[in-house]
Structure 1
Amino acid sequence: MSFWDVVWFIIIAFAFTAYLMMLFSIVADLFRDPETSGLAKAVWLIALVFFPVLTALVYVIVRGRGMAERNLAGRAAVQRQQDDYIKQVAGSSATPTDQIAQASALLEKGTISQSEFDTLKAKALAV
């Protein structure tokens, strides 16, 4: 095996990997798009099976902008969910003073007993 055979193999392996990544992203985008009908999705998939390179190029040309917008919208939704979760977790940890005040309010309403209040107070102070 010569040097150029190795170089050629590396180029072909790179092109094949890029091609597979493009196919997977097209298929993922097809299933992610709620506006495309099931029949249209089936036609795109059948075309990808029988004419993969041509169909991939046509798909990227025709639907490339929407593909990018759906990808960005998906990433933004994940970011919002993550931010909401962080805010929820960060907001739920009240200071010991807040926890004791909440327990005191529950004691005054009669929702909890004095022993439950003492337990909550000890737990808040132990944190």
Structure 2
Amino acid sequence: MDDYPLLDLFWTMLWFFLWIMWLFLLFKIITDIFRDDELSGWGKAGWLILCLVLPFIGVLIYVIARGTGMTQRETARARDAEAAFQDYIRETAGPGAGGTGSAGDELTRLVGLKERGALTEEEFQKAKAKILA
């Protein structure tokens, strides 16, 4: 253990950590290249080749040239995912689960359930009476 002093261990760990950070950035950039709808196929191929053939320089050039757009695209994707999730929650919860749906909407939904066979005539009548009450 005398051949590998503590300072060398520190430098090795630092370089390893930086290499791992670079790998994460490389994968993030490759993901961004493929998800960018505005970039043409040739543009995607060019950026991908640059990042794979000249990895350190290619990643640095990509971050400098397209870093702001990368952030904007990621923010837009997160916003769209949140909106889709909220729509799904509203659709799944439905107006009967604390929403502001009208009695007509509820009756329409009940008729649809009855027609599909999800409700029996007795269950339909009970639910209809509850809505109209």
Partner amino acid, structure 1, of 2:33 = L
Q: Which runs of 4+ in 1 moved over 4 A?
A: none
Partner of 1:83: 86
Q: Which has the higher helix share?
A: 1
RMSD after superposition: 2.7
Shift of 1:46: 1.1
| Matches of 1:35 and 1:19, distance apart in 2 | 25
Q: Does 1:45 align with 2:48?
A: yes
Identify which of structures 1 and 2 has the higher relative contact order when contacts are C-alpha pairs closer than 8 Å and 6+ apart.
Answer: 1
| Matches of 2:86 and 2:107, distance apart in 1 | 26
| Matches of 1:2 and 1:9, distance apart in 2 | 11
State how 1:10-29 maps to structure 2 within 5 Å: 10-29=13-32
Tell me the matched-pair count: 111
State how 1:97-112 maps to structure 2 within 5 Å: 102=107
| Matches of 2:97 and 2:61, distance apart in 1 | 55
User: Which residues of structure 2 form unaligned runs of 5+?
Assistant: none
